[in-house]
């Protein structure tokens, strides 16, 4: 007879087999990830300059 | 959390979704005021850079960008079921990956105390499945007091040293471990 733990293990194995969990929530329509925006080294450099500027010039400073 | 946590895989919540490698899983926790919240359990893709074979296990609600908010303070109706579920998935992950160990971060001193007490209270049950180790993140060097160097260590020469947690061990709270490592028996 199947124990409670064996049942839990069987259920988890079945869930895992379906492989439905996404490692990250998918983006909503209209949302972009940085990965989509930054595709070239030049874009990455520009992004880093912007981030540095934003860090050095916080709002209300 | 006034009620003591009693760990038992038999009473865990059902994992509703998981990846086939069991590195990601979701379950729903019931909250004290009656609502529900989806929680994610996530095992890191890569091992800790200083501890080969140790993979981080994080859990919590998921933010808009899909990351786990491990600082969230949710009032769970049943903490025992929540932690039993997290450890159950971790246990099954290690059964499938017996050369992997799982590490849980205490995040802050309060959680570290909570986890340590939970491990001690459930020592006999956990001992059926795991060896458990504690690790301190930081070496507290007090010899020089305020004259201490900013960085007194050669970090290439300082190794993390997990210590086995044994039943009823007593440790001063200020010396408590920050990180707990589970190894399958």
Q: Which residue, among B15, B61, B128, would best test binding to A if mutated, counting the most A CBs under 10 Å from its CB?
A: B15
Cα–Cα distance for residue pair B24/B48, rounded to 1 Å: 17
Cα–Cα distance for residue pair B12/B25, rounded to 1 Å: 13
Question: In this structure, is residue A40 part of a structural domain?
Answer: yes
Question: In this structure, is residue A1 part of a structural domain?
Answer: no
Number of domains composing chain A:
1
What is residue A17's predicted lDDT score, i.e. its pLDDT?
A: 94
Domain ranges in chain B?
A: 9-184
Q: Which of A12, A17, A19 sits opposite B15 (nearest CB)?
A: A12
Of A31-35, A52-56, B50-54, the range with the highest mean pLDDT is B50-54
Global ipTM: 0.79
Question: In this structure, is residue A21 part of a structural domain?
Answer: no
Q: Which of A9, A19, A22 sits opposite B20 (nearest CB)?
A: A19
Question: In this structure, is residue A22 part of a structural domain?
Answer: no
In the predicted model, is pLDDT for residue B166 greater than 60? yes
What is residue B73's predicted lDDT score, i.e. its pLDDT?
A: 85
CA distance A12 to chain B (A): 6
Q: Which tens digits make up the pLDDT trace of B14-36?
A: 999 999 999 999 999 999 989 99
- Residue B27 has phi, psi (to 5 degrees) of -145, 165
What range does the domain containing A41 cover?
A: 34-61
Q: Is B42 on the interface with A (CB under 8 A)?
A: yes
Question: In this structure, is residue A57 part of a structural domain?
Answer: yes
Q: Taking the model in full, what pTM does it have?
A: 0.76
Q: With contacts defined as CB-CB under 8 Å, which chain B residues touch A11?
A: 14-15
Chain centroid to Cα B56, Å, comes to 8
Q: Which tens digits make up the pLDDT trace of A11-53?
A: 999 999 999 887 655 555 555 555 555 566 776 677 677 777 7
């Amino acid at each position: 007879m199947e124990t409670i733990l064996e049942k839990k293990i069987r259920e988890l194995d079945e869930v895992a087999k379906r492989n439905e969990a996404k490692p990250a929530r998918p983006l909503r329509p209209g949302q972009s990830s940085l990965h989509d925006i930054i595709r070239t080294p030049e874009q990455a450099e520009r992004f880093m300059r912007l981030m540095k500027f934003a860090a050095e010039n916080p709002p209300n400073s | 959390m006034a009620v003591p946590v009693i760990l038992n895989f038999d009473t865990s919540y059902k994992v509703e979704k998981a990846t086939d490698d069991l590195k990601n899983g979701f379950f729903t926790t019931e909250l004290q005021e009656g609502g529900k919240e989806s929680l994610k359990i996530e095992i890191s893709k890569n091992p800790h850079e200083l501890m080969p074979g140790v993979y981080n296990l994080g859990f919590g609600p998921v933010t808009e960008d899909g990351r786990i908010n491990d600082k969230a303070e949710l009032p769970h109706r049943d903490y025992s079921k929540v932690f039993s579920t997290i450890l159950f998935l971790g246990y099954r992950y290690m059964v499938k990956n017996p050369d992997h160990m799982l590490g849980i971060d205490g995040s802050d001193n309060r959680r570290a105390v909570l986890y340590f007490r939970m491990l001690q209270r459930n020592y006999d049950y956990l001992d059926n499945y795991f060896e458990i180790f504690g690790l301190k993140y930081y070496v507290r060097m007090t010899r020089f007091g305020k004259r201490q160097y900013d960085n007194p260590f050669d970090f290439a020469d300082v190794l993390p040293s997990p210590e086995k947690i044994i039943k009823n061990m007593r440790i001063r709270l200020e010396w408590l471990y920050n990180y707990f490592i589970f190894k399958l028996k």
